[in-house]
Structure 1
Amino acid sequence: MESRKLQIRDLTLRDGQQSLFATRLKQEEIDKLLPYYENAGFYIMEVWGGAVPDSVMRYLDESPWNRLRTISKAMKGKSLLSALSRGRNLFGYVPYPDSVLEGFYKEAIANGLNVMRIFDALNDIDNVKESIRLINQLGGIADGAVCYTVDPKEEHTDTTVKKGFFGRLFGKKDEIVEPKKIFTDEYFVEKAKQMEDLGAKIITLKDMAGLVNPSRAASIISKLKSTLKVPVDFHTHCTPGYGLASSLMAIIHGVDILDTNIWWFGGGSAAPALELIYVFANKLGIEVEVNMEAVGRIRKELRTVREELHAFDLVKNFPKEFDPLTDTLPAEIDALFDKAIEAAKADNEAELLDACHAIEDYFGFPKPNLLVKEAEVPGGMYSNMVAQLKALQAEDLLDDAMRLIPKVRRDAGLVPLVTPTSQIVGSQAVSVALDRKKGNPDYSNPSNQFISLVKGEYGHTPVAVDPEFRAKITGSPEEKAYDVSKYKKPENPVLPEYGGVKLAANDEEYLLLELLPSVANGFLKRRRAEEWEAANAAKKAEEAAANAAAEAEKADDEPITGEVVTAQILPGTVIEVNVKPGDKVNKGDVLLVYEAMKMENNVEAGHDATVKRVFVKPGDIFAPEAVLVEFE
């Protein structure tokens, strides 16, 4: 019987560096890795999308398109290249018309992209269906990502409702009615099935905050596998401590593709390390379809790359060196892998997590972030809230703001917490906490983004927004979608300071202006400035050469009438010239120095004289008897 195989999507060059090193991986560092990646055998490599297009322009002054082209050329089609986009929003925050989507996807595929992972922050199928259609039509592979989230925790407050009439009459104080659960296994499976029906060729359970606990991973992956015909991918992070254990559960329950990072870019707020997954798979008799020897060569180079990213390293402490092909694990650590597998098969989540945490602790990976685990919010959302409160000098309100997140989520339609909704909800929770501190009504200061979310401009929320609440926030109880007909294409101005060229020189540059206008504007101006300076430098050099040639021609035309100094019998190369026309020289003064037969020689004035013309300059090679200097 043929062994089961597990395909790997490597996230190292995109999500890995974004999660751990603020997307600061330079092209020159990627170039060092690509020769080893070529034969690593990854099914898919995620190399683009997410924060990459913005960050490489903003922080590294590099072209996103050049990054994609360079990687594609180096891989020679041996691994599929993938990117991440937010459906109708692509990399921005505004829904784009179909013409922009088509132009962008067409350019991306032409530059080497194979797989586009498409998600929507609201899991609104209407926001992804056109992207799925276009990617397939243009020859790409549409990967439909369902965003995982959880129902917010309930607090025992005066707003909770006791069960029924007799419950209200006789019930205990802590007996409450739990609101209907929205984010059930069936919710995610139904979203996945809708994407498959639209033409998605891969379905990903995308757990951007790492909140899928192992038991939930087992149940959702099992149901996806029994419902779908297309391959199922699992994407998670290790932030709250579930990542490794949930990935093991996903493998056991039949996932086809698993997202991982190579050792030095794994764990912590990133996806699990491939090397640990490889150990688990071996013990399960599952073949990981990757050339681990090539991965070892990447891992060796990647350590140096991480050292170069020290300033942006969120963890600083490196895990222990480990090569699963050559290193023998201590017996007690090897036993932990077996214990984790046994616990996973028995659905003993507590023992599974204990074993996986002990494995990660042995290797020196970061410990679980308990705050993120308890709050059930993405780590980036939490850090944004802290930064906002610090800027307002109101750090004491952090706990209040965190407690308000469930309320704000429910009021806004129970939105999943993923970019950009996580930032919108987090910021509004901070604002409501400030309202309460000042004695103002809740939502006294809704942000423009929160107004747009409640209005319906981001799409349909998982639960309908209360019309009264929508009227309070937006001025109207009616849901209103974003009107893409109002979309205005950005200007592509002429730059007179750079010779009258346009800011965006071609279609791919104009797409950057459409998607990331503020960042692309500065980036493209720097490109035009460089081109202008280079062109001017070349022009000046041409003019100087032409002037020199004219002078030489003029000098050649003028007959020599004065006394001359000529070269000796040997040919030579002028090293330095010490005189110019009009100079008065004395007998013995050095007129110039030349090199012949590896020896330096001086040419001296034979008597006092005035220089009329000099026929050579440093670097000139002259023949024997050539005229070097003419005196008046």
Structure 2
Amino acid sequence: MQIFPGFVRVSKIRNLHSSIKVLQLCASMNVFAHLCRGDAHQSLLATRVRTYDLAAISPFVAQSFSGLFSLENWGGATFDVSMRFLHECPWERLRTLRELVPNIPFQCLLRGANAMGYSNYPDNVIYKFCDLAVKNGMDVFRVFDSLNYVPNLLVGMDAVGKAGGVVEAAIAYTGDVTDKSRDKYDLKYYLELADQLVKAQAHILSIKDMAGVLKPEAAKLLIGALRDKFPDIPIHVHTHDTSGAGVAAMLECAKAGADVVDAAVDSMSGMTSQPSMGAIVASLQGTQHDTGLLLDDISKYSAYWESARQLYAPFECATTMKSGNADVYKHEIPGGQYTNLQFQAFSLGLGSQFDDVKRMYREANLALGDIIKVTPSSKIVGDLAQFMVQNNLTRETLVDRADDLSFPKSVVDFMQGNVGQPPYGFPEPLRTKVLRGKPKVDGRPGEHAKPIDLDAVKTDLEEKHGRKLTEEDVMSYSMFPTVFDEFETFRQQYGPVDKLPTRLFLTGLEIAEEVDVEIEKGKTLAIQLLAEGKLNKRGEREVFFDLNGQMRSIFVTDKEASKEIVTRPRALPGVRGHIGAPMPGDVLELKIKEGDKVTKKQPLFVLSAMKMEMVIDSPISGTVKKIHAGQGTKCTAGDLVIEIEP
């Protein structure tokens, strides 16, 4: 949620959604709710909260919190996760919430030239996305770049402005402006960057403290300096509460002249989420920054999420993090990445070494040149950190052994310049050793990218999926082609599973349990599970159920029972031609075939696990004797994938 102290300085607000005329930037400090996108459920629950639960509380929010600056309810990781794991259309989520909350501005996170994705897209995709987002109900766009690379920022800002949205230009914060020993990201750096964004016609200036490392004294210094230099532009501060000092920092921001600060409702606040909405509101009561919000309303809102949160217990970050932890000032892991990094570590077999991963995150960051860390640059640091733990590397041995290592694809892309240009350049000699002659990109990566023919994409997609598609569907595919195709196939096979209550969506019905599912207004299905049959030779079970009073049955493949146990050969230590999987994952792509001649350092295959991709190079020259794991094969660490005859 966002809290807004003082009067409104908005002078350049463009046209907004028809139901919101002036952003409601009123004369009190306003709270900005991370209701849906947000960092509340991204940071605490691996971005798994469903529209079903968001929609249920939305009428109460509309009625009780009309004074909010905005609700951040879209964008960032929620866009692809909603399709990937929740089997929901992100555009439908936006329209549903817009209908239920017509009186509070909506805010989304826009990754500059990356839009909602993790890599740079052609400019026409960015402009079309912003246009569609505004038409579907979005108002304020927090535009940022993972490296604070201004050319990438300007593309996003211009696209939002042309679409008629409110441009909130964000500066990603790292380091500590009060620490004189850290000279890279000092006060001068932030003031100069802010000056460029203000001159580029930003409507709102934002500080995006994605890791929660903005200490109270640093907040006073930074926000005070920005307010002195830019007296007329609204300032919005976003933070996380990983250290436990978030409330104190936001109060200092308010006193120093910030117009809006972020918070999360109490039961979804703290740790890697935002600081507590109730705590901030209570602390400001009776002061010049009194928000006017009622603590009773906040308590009712918090009670809803306290109950709903129990449904998502398997995704809790609290499995390893039980309280705030000041070690964030060392590792600087963004709050929105923490839970996902933990899940990724478990998938890579590093769950018991997560403390080592956190410590190595700092070392990986320094090895990369001490970069800004927010999606997708934070993923680059996280991938490298886990790679270093897997291979027992230190910052020093990483450089020494770089010639013989196959680095994560994200690290290679970064070193090539495909993400953008870091403010203090690339680290050498590591960059040269990682690239091994691969081409480098100077300047903005998407500047010369060929525009996507969206009409042709639409035609091809409609032929592939056999139905009429919308512009929004085409945009989802343009950014996440594989994810959209899988989502579309799943929905055509299983229908609108987003209508199911959350517990049933996650765990299914028990025998004799009944449920009413409203698939659309006025149309409800009454379903009762009656019995499950025995497993047949085809790996299926007959499922008996009652649908609206009539008994029916269907045969359902039992995917767990019908799995085959496959024992794969292992890569033998010391055998130079045995190329194994360095981590658990799926063989995403094979770059060679049996009989091919390969040279040392030639790419052989791409391995993928939890969004982490690694290109495996050949350690020797020779002939591909046998491919033991084809494309799509699931491997464990050490499985033999390719055998090369030296």
Q: Give the shorter-chain TM-score range.
A: 0.5 to 0.7
Separation in 1 of the partners of 2:87 and 2:337? 26
AA matched with 2:58: L
- Give the alignment partner of residue 375 of structure 2, picking from 412, 419, 423: 419
- Give the alignment partner of residue 146 of structure 1, picking from 171, 192, 208: 171
* Contact 2:240–2:272 (8 Å) recurs in 1: yes
Residue 435 of structure 2 corresponds to: 474
Residue 421 of structure 2 corresponds to: 460
Residue 277 of structure 1 corresponds to: 280
Give the deviation of 1:148 after TM superposition.
0.8
Residue 46 of structure 1 corresponds to: 72
Note the 1:75-474 alignment, pairs <5 A.
Answer: 75-76=101-102, 78-150=103-175, 181-228=183-230, 229-290=232-293, 292=295, 294-315=297-318, 367-378=323-334, 405-406=361-362, 408-432=364-388, 441-443=400-402, 444-466=405-427, 468-474=429-435
* Contact 2:125–2:452 (8 Å) recurs in 1: no
Note the 1:600-611 alignment, pairs <5 A.
Answer: none
TM-score scaled by structure 2? 0.64
* Contact 2:43–2:336 (8 Å) recurs in 1: no
Residue 579 of structure 2 corresponds to: none
- Give the alignment partner of residue 61 of structure 2, picking from 24, 31, 37: 37
Separation in 1 of the partners of 2:490 and 2:343? 31
Unaligned runs of at least 5 residues, structure 2: 1-5, 8-26, 497-646
Unaligned runs of at least 5 residues, structure 1: 155-177, 318-364, 533-632
AA matched with 1:415: I
* Contact 1:37–1:294 (8 Å) recurs in 2: no
Separation in 2 of the partners of 1:501 and 1:494? 9
Give the deviation of 1:246 after TM superposition.
0.8
Post-superposition CA distance 1:525-551 (Å, at most 9, x none): 23445689xxxxxxxxxxxxxxxxxxx
AA matched with 2:436: G
Separation in 2 of the partners of 1:315 and 1:385? 13
> Are residues 456 and 30 of structure 1, via their aligned partners in 2, closer, same or farther at CA, if it must alter by over 3 Å?
same
Note the 1:499-538 alignment, pairs <5 A.
Answer: 502=466, 505-529=469-493
Post-superposition CA distance 1:1-31 (Å, at most 9, x none): x997212211132221222222222222222
Give SS of 1:278's match: helix
Residue 19 of structure 1 corresponds to: 43
* Contact 1:386–1:398 (8 Å) recurs in 2: yes
Separation in 2 of the partners of 1:17 and 1:242? 20
Post-superposition CA distance 1:396-442 (Å, at most 9, x none): 97777656545543443431121221221232234345556698833
* Contact 2:416–2:435 (8 Å) recurs in 1: yes
Give the deviation of 1:517 after TM superposition.
1.8
Give the deviation of 1:57 after TM superposition.
1.6
**Greater helix content:** 1
Separation in 2 of the partners of 1:33 and 1:401? 37
Residue 169 of structure 1 corresponds to: none
Give the deviation of 1:307 after TM superposition.
3.2
Give the deviation of 1:110 after TM superposition.
0.2
Give the deviation of 1:383 after TM superposition.
6.1
* Contact 2:75–2:110 (8 Å) recurs in 1: yes
Separation in 2 of the partners of 1:44 and 1:526? 33
> Are residues 437 and 448 of structure 1, via their aligned partners in 2, closer, same or farther at CA, if it must alter by over 3 Å?
closer
> Are residues 495 and 65 of structure 1, via their aligned partners in 2, closer, same or farther at CA, if it must alter by over 3 Å?
closer
Separation in 2 of the partners of 1:529 and 1:248? 51
AA matched with 1:485: A
Moved more, 435-444 or 17-26: 435-444
AA matched with 1:111: N
Give SS of 2:36's match: helix
* Contact 1:121–1:421 (8 Å) recurs in 2: yes
Give the deviation of 1:473 after TM superposition.
2.1
Count of matched residue positions in the alignment of Structure 1 and Structure 2? 458
Separation in 1 of the partners of 2:334 and 2:450? 33
Give SS of 2:191's match: helix
Separation in 2 of the partners of 1:403 and 1:312? 23
Identity of aligned residues (%): 26
Residue 600 of structure 2 corresponds to: none
AA matched with 1:480: D
> Are residues 522 and 437 of structure 1, via their aligned partners in 2, closer, same or farther at CA, if it must alter by over 3 Å?
closer
Residue 607 of structure 2 corresponds to: none
AA matched with 1:73: E
TM-score scaled by structure 1? 0.65
Separation in 2 of the partners of 1:72 and 1:392? 39
AA matched with 1:218: K
Separation in 1 of the partners of 2:487 and 2:475? 13
* Contact 1:65–1:508 (8 Å) recurs in 2: yes
Matched, 1:57 2:19: no
> Are residues 88 and 366 of structure 1, via their aligned partners in 2, closer, same or farther at CA, if it must alter by over 3 Å?
same
Separation in 1 of the partners of 2:48 and 2:41? 7
Give the deviation of 1:181 after TM superposition.
1.0
* Contact 1:113–1:140 (8 Å) recurs in 2: yes
* Contact 1:12–1:265 (8 Å) recurs in 2: no
CA RMSD across the alignment: 3.5
Give the deviation of 1:465 after TM superposition.
1.8
AA matched with 1:442: R
Post-superposition CA distance 1:547-601 (Å, at most 9, x none): xxxxxxxxxxxxxxxxxxxxxxxxxxxxxxxxxxxxxxxxxxxxxxxxxxxxxxx
Give SS of 2:473's match: helix
* Contact 1:456–1:479 (8 Å) recurs in 2: yes
Give SS of 2:285's match: helix
* Contact 2:265–2:298 (8 Å) recurs in 1: yes
* Contact 1:384–1:423 (8 Å) recurs in 2: no
Residue 616 of structure 1 corresponds to: none
AA matched with 1:5: S
Residue 9 of structure 1 corresponds to: 32
Give the deviation of 1:268 after TM superposition.
1.9
* Contact 1:492–1:502 (8 Å) recurs in 2: no
Moved more, 288-297 or 367-376: 288-297
Separation in 2 of the partners of 1:244 and 1:294? 19
Post-superposition CA distance 1:83-136 (Å, at most 9, x none): 012110012122111110111111100000000111111000111102111211
Post-superposition CA distance 1:275-300 (Å, at most 9, x none): 11111111434221545554444334
Give SS of 1:204's match: strand
Matched, 1:28 2:38: no
Give the deviation of 1:470 after TM superposition.
3.0
| Structure with max Cα Rg | 1
Separation in 2 of the partners of 1:83 and 1:252? 26
Residue 73 of structure 1 corresponds to: 99
Post-superposition CA distance 1:322-380 (Å, at most 9, x none): xxxxxxxxxxxxxxxxxxxxxxxxxxxxxxxxxxxxxxxxxxx9632244344333356
